[in-house]
Amino acid sequence: MKLLRPLRFAAALALSAFSLSALTPHAAARADTLDALLAGFDQGCDYSAGLLAALEELGAAADAGRQPVLPLAAPDLYGPMRVIPSGEYDDIVVPLTATWKDVPVSALRFIRGRENGIFLVLVRFAPPHEAARRVFAPLAEGSAARMAEDPENLTEATTFLNEIDGELSYVCDLST
């Protein structure tokens, strides 16, 4: 029986707790890049073990009211986490000073619903946004098209670029 993507995500989260400190040689060689952490994220919302561990840590830290310890090569790449309650969901934001595919990134956001199936992960780009649009618009469109054709994608998960109030983000929406 084929599993739904959210179920695969939950299983991977459970198996990835041990990988918080695991870094690839590439990530260790270049501490400011998120390429290893976000490997596959632009390909149908695939999550690396490091990203799964980071999301699990963000959720645990938010629930415990503490700051997260993220699987980045240099802790000085990220600032204090903010948890912004918003009715039916929490918006967890971690400011970053890093790059993804050589494009400057300003934050990682994790929007999780309160027992309602809302589940989004966003990578927010630092302005100006021309490079982010050039690199990530085709990736988001291609990924969304592949996901729409995937017979396992019963929840209609998708990816897209989103700009709100001058902030541009690559979004993976796994909401059910």
| More confidently predicted of 157 and 78 | 78
Q: DSSP E strands: which ranges in the chain?
A: 82-86, 89-100, 103-113, 119-125, 158-164, 167-173
Q: Is the model's pLDDT at 20 over the cut of 80?
A: no
Model confidence at 93: pLDDT above 60:
yes
With a cut of 50, say whether residue 5 has pLDDT above it. no
Output the pLDDT for position 31: 60
Q: 81 falls in which pLDDT band (50, 70, 90)? A: very high
In one letter, which amino acid is 43?
Answer: Q
Confidence at residue 75, expressed as pLDDT on a 0 to 100 scale: 72
Say if residue 87's pLDDT is above 50.
yes
User: Among 15-24, 31-40, 129-138, 147-156, which is the least confidently predicted range?
Assistant: 15-24
Mean pLDDT of the chain: 80
- Using alpha carbons only, give the angle 168, 171, 33 rounded to the nearest 5 degrees: 75
Cβ-count burial of 98 within 10 angstroms (0-12 exposed, 13-18 middle, 19+ buried)?
A: buried
Q: Rounded to the nearest 10 degrees, how much is the dihedral formed by the CA atoms of 93, 99, 104, 107?
A: 0
Q: Which of 43-52, 73-82, 161-170 has the highest mean pLDDT?
A: 161-170
Predicted local confidence at residue 154, as pLDDT = 63
Give residue 159's pLDDT: 83
